[in-house]
Amino acid sequence: MAHGITDDTAIAKVPAPQEPAPDDDRPCAIQAVNLRKVYKAAGGQPAKEALKSINLSIPRGSFFGLLGPNGAGKSTFINILAGLVIKTSGSASVWGFDTDVNPRQARASIGVVPQELNIDPFFTPAEAMELQAGLYGVPKSARRTMEILRVLGLDDKADAYARTLSGGMRRRLLVAKAMVHAPPVLVLDEPTAGVDIELRRQLWEYVQELHAKGTTIVLTTHYLEEAQALCDQIAIINHGDVVVCEPTSQLLSRIDEKRILIRPSSALASLPPQLEKYKAELRDDGQIAVLYNPSEAPMAALLADISSAGIEIADLSTEEAALEDVFLQLTSGK
């Protein structure tokens, strides 16, 4: 699918791939090299180093997760890419355009859905979309205002004042505004915050359709199960540093710990002494949950201890490590 603005009146056109490829040989959608940002001391507050010379390559066509605790530097990084924050040093590029050398083209290559619900209350969604398209130089003949609003379930609110929209509808309008110029890179900064389950499902269906057609998606979220389910690669930022950047499956394999769930044939009143050496608990539903490290305690040894305790197994299942476990391990105590 071709991306970018397709008319000579647009502020920029998106060319064929130009910049070096990351490790997986795909060209970069976003690349940061020794990117650093220091906020100067002000109002009695000391200077703050928000980004510490980070290096990050986001491949084109990926569904990329950018995770980290509050204040880790994620929003600063996104705002530098969007041209809203001036970096202190290093370089950043979007779709092959350096944000310093070709700032207009870089901004035309990215659409950002911000955390804040910054919508003019006196514009209707249709008016806000048309204004945004005009700012990006999209000719009227190429605008898709009603098409985008329809896909996001806002077509029936096209002529209603934005101040009358619910929080979830305003969130969807931000997504719509970010898509008016058909950018090849879409950044979603906490897009489902305050959105109910049904609206969240609709939003992800739309985003996954965009990704299937070639749009590079960059997601920040505090819903780690979303990142685990959607992202093929994840970077975790903590205190302005990229502490890890790996394919999701590789990241999850960092935790050498599994949970086995055992349902005894007969209910137990308490855990038998044979399981005291494990991290085991007897749950309210009668299941025994045991945390164990396969490299230290083979499954066969665990099952032998269960058998020696006289427990007859009615059912058995295992749970793999969740992204939340990896996230906590990499960011806690730092």
The fraction of the chain above a pLDDT of 90, given in percent, is: 51
Find the angle CA(134)-CA(140)-CA(141) to the nearest 5 degrees. Answer: 150
* Per-residue pLDDT tens digits for 96-123: 999 999 999 999 999 999 888 888 888 9
Residue 135: which residues within 8 A CB-CB, separation 6 or more? none
pLDDT grade for 9, boundaries at 50, 70 and 90? very low
Domain 28-252, CATH class in plain words:
alpha beta
Mean pLDDT of 14-33: 63
Reference 214, options 106, 29, 60; nearest CA is: 60
The one-letter amino acid at 157? K
- Domain layout of the chain by residue ranges: 28-252, 258-331
CATH topology of domain 258-331: Alpha-Beta Plaits (3.30.70)
Distance (Å, whole) CA 331 – CA 334: 6
Residue 295: which residues within 8 A CB-CB, separation 6 or more? 256
Neighbours of 153 (CB within 10 A): 16
Mean pLDDT of 195-218: 88
* Per-residue pLDDT tens digits for 123-135: 999 999 999 999 9
For residue 21, is pLDDT > 60? no
Find the angle CA(323)-CA(58)-CA(85) to the nearest 5 degrees. Answer: 100
pLDDT grade for 230, boundaries at 50, 70 and 90? very high
- pLDDT score at 16: 38
Give me the phi and psi of 3, to 5 degrees please.
-120, 165
- pLDDT score at 119: 85
> DSSP class of residue 21?
P
Helices (H), 240-319: 248-252, 299-308
